[in-house]
Structure 1
Amino acid sequence: MIKEWATVVSWHKGEALVSCDVKTSCNSCASRAGCGTRILNKLGPQNSHTLTVPCDTPLVVGQKVELGIAEGSLIGSALLVYMSPLVGLFLVSALFQALFGTNLAAFCGAVLGGVGGFLIARGFSLKLSRRENWQPVILSVALPPDAIRVETTTSADSQ
């Protein structure tokens, strides 16, 4: 089970809308100044993913929940998304090269096969996303943000 913490955005009638922050591997090593990956991550969008997850327990906005998804579904979806366009690219490119015998035909076949593989992956992903074992589930719920109150006193207050 792959786990990730998310923040509750809203809860209504047994469905929680949760937001997961996008995490990068940057800022975890000593070579931050000269790292090309860090620069590329700054160029990309810094957003969060919002998911709808069934939950019978009433939740409060801002509450943290631990989400889990099965490893098999994550590996299966990654294979579908990455391998379908790649296999389509190679197969159609080789077919066009064999049929027409030119590099331009092979290039056109590669583009068509890659786009076709992407569309096939998109169609299958819609069907697979409806499976219950491919859905994220709430594993644990943290305390609401207002459940703990911490009071601090300074030395001036105690005198």
Structure 2
Amino acid sequence: MIKEWATVISWQKGEALLSCDVKASCSSCASRAGCGSRILNKLGPQTNHTLSVACDTPLVAGQKVELGIAEGSLIGSALLVYMSPLVGLFVVSALFQALFGTNLAAICGALIGGVGGFLIAREFSLKFSRRETWQPVILSVALPPNALRVETTTSADSQ
């Protein structure tokens, strides 16, 4: 199970609207100064992802929840999204190269195959997204933001 914390935006009728922060791929690595991935993460937009998850427990805006998704569904969706355009690109490119014998035909076949693979991935991902095993679930719920209050006193207040 892959876990991530999210913040509740709203909860209505058993449906929680959650916001997940996008985290950089590396933030605690020892080689931060010379890391190309860290620089690329700084250049990109820092966005939040909003998703809707079924939840019977009433939630309060600002409350933290721990989400979980099965590894198998995450790996399956990654394979679908990345591999189908790639396979389409190579297969149709090779087919056009064999049929027409020119590099231009191979390039056109690669474009057609890549776009076709993307469209196939999009169609299958819509079907797979309806599966219950591919949906994130709420694993645990933190205290509401106003449930715990800590008071501190200074020495001047206690005299």
Q: Give the CA deviation at 1:32.
A: 2.2
Contact 2:89 2:113 in 1 (8 A): yes
Matched, 1:156 2:122: no
Aligned match of 2:19 = 19
Contact 2:3 2:66 in 1 (8 A): yes
Q: Give the CA deviation at 1:25.
A: 2.6
* Structure 2 unpaired stretches of 5+: none
Q: Give the CA deviation at 1:110.
A: 0.7
Matched, 1:7 2:11: no
Q: Distance in 2 between matches of 1:140 and 1:29?
A: 28
Show CA shifts across 1:32-54 (max 9, x none).
Answer: 22221111111111101111001
Q: Give the CA deviation at 1:71.
A: 1.3
SS at match of 1:26: coil
Q: Percent identity?
A: 87
Q: Distance in 1 between matches of 2:137 and 2:87?
A: 32
Aligned match of 1:89 = 89
Q: Distance in 2 between matches of 1:146 and 1:16?
A: 19
Q: Give the CA deviation at 1:31.
A: 2.5
Residue type matched to 1:99 in 2?
Answer: L
User: Mean Cα displacement is larger for which, 22-31 or 117-126?
Assistant: 22-31
Q: TM-score, normalised by structure 1?
A: 0.96
Aligned residues: 159
Q: Distance in 2 between matches of 1:24 and 1:120?
A: 30
SS at match of 1:31: coil
**C-alpha RMSD over aligned residues:** 1.0
Aligned match of 1:74 = 74
Residue type matched to 2:77 in 1?
Answer: S
